[in-house]
Every structure is written in structure tokens, then in C-alpha cells.
Amino acid sequence: MAEEEGEFYGKHGEPRKYDPTFKGPIHNRGCTDIICCILFIIAVLGYFAVGILAWSQGDPRKVIYPTDSRGRFCGQAGTELEKKPFLFYFNIIKCANPLVLLELQCPTTQICVEKCPSKFMTLLEVYARQNEDYTLYKTYCQEDAVLTGLSVPEILKQGLCPAVLTPSKPFTRRCLPAVGKLNGAVVVGNATSFDDGEGRRVDANELLEGAKKSNVVVEARQVAMRIFEDYTRSWYWILIGLVIAMVISLIFIVLLRFLAGIMVWVMIVLVILVIGYGIFHCYMEYASLKGEPGADVTLQDLGFQTDFMVYLQIRQTWLAFLIILCIVEVIIILLLIFLRKRILIAIALLKEASRAIGYVMSSLFYPLLTFALLSLVIAYWAITAVFLATSNEAVYKVFNETDCRHSYNTCDPETFRESEVKRDCPDSQCMFAFYGGESYYHKYLIVLQFYNVFLFFWCANFVTALGQMTLAGAFASYYWAFKKPDDMPACPIFSSLGRALRYHTGTLAFGSLLLALVQTIRVLLEYLDHKLKGTQNKCTKFLMICLKCCFWCLEKFIKFLNRNAYIMVAMYGKNFCTSAKDAFFLLMRNLIRVAVLDKVTDFLLFLGKLLIVGSVGIFAFFFFSGRIKAIEETIPTLNYYWVPILTVVVGSYLIAHGFFSVYAMCVDTLFLCFLEDLERNDGSAERPYLMPDNLLKVLKKKNDSAATES
């Protein structure tokens, strides 16, 4: 027996020896992982340098305003085009050209105008009349065009004016044909065809196709604008929903503090009931759509629609929701049946965690600091990403209707009229194509984008790690205190935060660096998969899937290892590698307890988050969808009512996760301290256990029986 025990400990490290002087987190400690601390500081300084460089080169107006053929912004305040907010296409039919999808630019002259044309006019007609229509027509010609002495063919050949104006309406600040349907036929201004001003009849369908292609890039922006509009109309109701989620989470935590056993069983029953109601509601919606026109259309046939409300009018959507919720319900019920005996152990640990939080009440508000720091990191990353994405320069290319050897070459609009290209191809034009650049900065712009992503992951993981180590230090001081709360620091959270920042910034940077590297590699794999899509064979696709799966598993393992390593660092003040090794071997020596106790507790806490999110989500659905008749008049008019619902659901989960993460960290810390306690002490008067007797009996009894069963 002794040989087997020695062999077991030899594989998984030696248990920690009894130390009568150890009374919690060690105060006399030194700085750890200094090299990584220096690297982190240098990387952050470099991150600031990249941000300053991006802010000096970038121009977010490129995302907001449409640009004419010279790359100028339409409607931008303080410029000569301030009173010309709309973009007008000389010949929108050319936007049906496949080049639109390659260059993301329509191969026709584009100018900024005050308003879109409202009636049919051809250059040939108005040129002959020379009346007020001709004066109006000239406002849709190039602003520096000199028409005096030129015939209509010469004006059209030089591309100074459009051949025809068609009735248009502004859409995403672009003048698109006012197409409609009359007796099943596509019409523009009640006409199915019109004269293009060059002697041929053009079908309205061609105009419609050009309008669709010209809008291929801005359609998503229109959806975003509608979503933004919904936020402006419902932000205060969203805020109320998030406050309700916070109040429910806080009440739940307080009740868990005093009624842990009862609350866990109530939580389990309510989760089953909430998901059960979701199944019932999906079935009723599915049944109510039976026989409705168009309700039997499949999602595949429908394709992608910018109006997401269309999907809720299809039976297949509700059937999918119904199946998903049924699967979730069955899985939860089976897990509860399988873990029914283990739940008692988890309840015992949750009671002790509640008692610990009662002594360290400030821990409940620490997630607010983590949230604020993460918000700063996310905001800096997002702003830097936008400026990097918009720091390209305007690139102009040669567009020509006839064959020309210079077509699609880069050109300079300032000198184009006197250039060799214009002499070789008289009807060619130098037009704005896209934003790019040939400078050293632009060549390595993708590298700066990846650096931005990498530092975002590193800083975000650092903030999360700081929160984990701070909470671990506070709860460890509770566990190892012989007399609670006399032997605890006056402010456990502030004491632990000070230790973490003063001594272990390098350790936090080390652990978060490992995680950031794996996360960045996962982003790189997604980027490569997107770039190589359509060119991969089955072997490379399989390899890509395997790599994604492996790095996903590696990320989960590193998160688990880091979390336990930070607890050991908070207690003993050693470097990251030593602490990670000690934590890993300690858990390996108690593998049964880890599987039986720690993970069951995590599952119960997850059910708590699910209950809060489900309750708030159901209330938000009934409110924003107008199902509550008593307050129907107070509901804001929305384009997509799922926008505030989804926002409330995601926000509720983040709020609930913030509160329950304190419980989860408390449970993990107490669990690791308990395992240390079992190895350090034997329960005698000289070497007493610090775990309360009632909890200790439950834990030892249940875990010993679990070990026997295994």
C-alpha cells in the first residue's frame, strides 16, 4: 500500500507538508516573472504607438460618407460638397458588371448632388431646347465640365454628363432608380422601358439589376443603420431590462447566501419550467402558422434576408427552435438525474462559498471594475481597428467601355487628361476605385491589424486574470484564517489587488500571453479559412477543421490551468510555471473530487445564469413584441424588435455571469484550499482542519464513497 501511494505521489508530485506558521496568503513575497512583465509593458507601449499611427493615418469618414469618382466625401460638413449629400451614378446599368464584386466600385462616373433626379430627361432632348430643364440637367454633370461649343456626342464621349436622367430616390445616400411593379412588370416612372439617350431602348429590368449590384456593399450598412435607429428608440427600455437583470441577480445571490439548499432546488425546478414554457411557446407558434400563405417556405429557399422578421413567419424557424429547446431540456434532466447525489455535495460547498462572500461583500462589486477595464480595452481596440481599416489612400483606376490595354491600371486624376493613357484610349476615364496604398505602411497594414487583435486578447486576458487573482487572494485569506473575521485583512479585496499588481504583474502577463497566443492563432486560422474558401480540397478542409478543434481544446485547457495557477500564486506568491505545476498535480492527486464536486458546482451556477437570462428574455420578448396589451401603447416603434430583445438577453447574461463569476471563483478557491488542507493537516489538535466540521464530514464522506464507486 505504501509503495502504491509513493508511486502515485511520484507521478503527481509530492503533497505539501504541514507548516504551523502558514496562516493564509503569504505576505513576504517577491516579484515574479519579471521578464514577462517588461515584455508586457513594451508591448502595451507599442500598442499605443500603433494607435497613434492609425489615428494619424485613418479617416472614419470613409465608413460614413459615400465618395464620388474623385474620392471626395458627399455631404461632409466644412467641404465644398457639404450641400451635396447624395451620390449620383451617370449610368447605373454598368453597376451590373461583375467588376462591382471584384473592385467594390461601380465602373461609371459618380458625382455628389443636392437631390436625386425626379423625372425622365435625356441630354439630347434638353440640349436642343436650352430651357430650364437644360439648366437643371447641367447640375448632374461633372462640376468642372465646359459644355460650350461641344455637341452631344462629344459631351458623352468625354463623359462630362450622363446620357439620361431617371426618376430616383435616395437610399443610403445614393440615388437609386425609383423602380416599382405594374401588372407584374418592373417599371420606372410607370414605364417598362426608356430611351438611354444614345439611341437605344433600355428595359427597366436592366436598371433594377444595376441598382441591386450598386447596393451590394451598402445593404449591410442599411441594416446597421436600422439597428442603430432601434437602439435610439429603445435604449432606455433596454437599460431598464438590464437593471431588472442586475436586481434579480443580486437578489438571487443574497438568497443564495442564506438559503443555499432551498435556492438550488428552486433554481433547478424553475430552469426546467422556463425551458418547458419555451418549448410550449415554439409549438404554439409552429401550429398557428399552419396553412398560412408562405409559411411552409424552407430557410434554404428563403436565403439571407436583411429583414430578419421574415424568418419568424416561417414554420421551419419555430420547428428548429422547438427541437433545440427539447434537446437542451432532455440533456439538463438527464444530467440532474445522473448527478442527483452529487448535488448535495455541491450545495454544501455553495453554502460555504456563501458564508465566505458574506465576510467579503465587496467581492460582489469587484466585477464592475473588471467590466469597466474590459470596456476600455474593447473601446481602444475597436477605435484602433476602425482607424487602421480606413487609413488607406484613394486608389484610382482606368475605366473604359471599349478594349484598352490600360484598363483597370492605376492612374492619377490630376494629370490623366494629358497622359498617354488618355491619348491611347480617348473614351477612358480615371475614376476612384477603392482605398488602398503602395507605401511601406500600407503594405504591412494587415500585420498591424493582427497586432491590434493580439494586444486586444493579451490586455483583455490580463484584466480577467487580475480579477481572478484578486478574488482568489481575498477568499484564500478567508479560508486560512483561524478566527474569522479577526484574522482576515480589514479590506481583503484591496489587499489582494495590491499584492497582485505589486508582485505578480509579470505572472498575470505570462498566463494571459499564453492564452492570447492561442486565441490569435485561432483568429488566423479563421482568416486563412475565409481567404482560401472555394479553393480547398477535402484534405485541406479536414486539416483546417482538425486544427480549429485542437486549438479550441487547447484554449479551454489553458483557461482552466491559468485559473488554478492564479489561485496558487495568490496563496504562495510563486511564479506562474511553478504555481501551474503545483495546481495541476494537486488536482491530479484529487481527480475524483474535481470531477464530482467542482464541475457539478459549475453546472449548478450555470443553471442559475440560465434561469436569470431565460426569465428576463421571456419578459423582454413579451414586452417588445407587443404581447402585453396593458402597456402596448408605451412600446417604441421598431424596425426589428429582436434587436432590444437580443441586447437585453446578452446583457443579462453578462450581468449574471459577473455576479456568478464571484461565486465560481470563490468555489474554486475554497476547493483548492480544501485539497491543500487535507494534505497539510490530519484533523488532530496539533494539525486541525480549517474547513468547518459539518462541511468537512459531507465532503469527505461523499468523496470517499465516490472514490469507492469509481
pLDDT per position as a tens digit, 114-157: 888 877 787 878 887 778 888 888 888 887 777 777 888 888 87
Identify the pLDDT of residue 506.
93
- Cα separation, 519 vs 525, in Å, equals 10
Residues 6+ apart with CB under 8 A from 569: 32, 469, 504, 507, 575, 576, 579
- Cα separation, 639 vs 543, in Å, equals 42
- Cα separation, 651 vs 633, in Å, equals 25
| Residue pLDDT, tens place only, 207-246 | 555 444 444 444 555 566 667 677 777 778 888 888 888 8
- Cα separation, 559 vs 565, in Å, equals 10
Q: Average pLDDT, stretch 654-672?
A: 83
- Cα separation, 137 vs 122, in Å, equals 9
| Residue pLDDT, tens place only, 345-367 | 777 777 778 888 888 888 888 88
Confidence of residue 100 (pLDDT cuts 50, 70, 90): very low
| Buried b / exposed e along 336-365 (16+ C-beta atoms within 10 A) | beebeebbebbbbbbbbbbbbbebbeebbe
- Cα separation, 601 vs 148, in Å, equals 84
Of 482 and 668, more confident: 668
Identify the pLDDT of residue 517.
94
Cα 646 from chain centroid (whole Å): 13
Long-range contacts of 41-44 (CB under 8 A, 24+ apart): 43/455, 43/458, 44/455, 44/459
| Residue pLDDT, tens place only, 452-461 | 989 999 999 9
Q: Is the pLDDT reported for residue 197 higher than 60? A: no
Q: Is the dihedral of CA 505, 510, 512, 517 positive or negative?
A: positive
Q: DSSP assignment, residue 115?
A: S
- Nearest to residue 595, comparing CAs of 698, 671, 669? 671
Identify the pLDDT of residue 106.
63
- Nearest to residue 504, comparing CAs of 568, 452, 551? 568
- Cα separation, 612 vs 657, in Å, equals 10
Q: Is the pLDDT reported for residue 609 higher than 80? A: yes
- Cα separation, 500 vs 492, in Å, equals 12
Q: Is the pLDDT reported for residue 54 higher than 70? A: yes
Cell of 270: 424553475
Cell of 565: 495557477
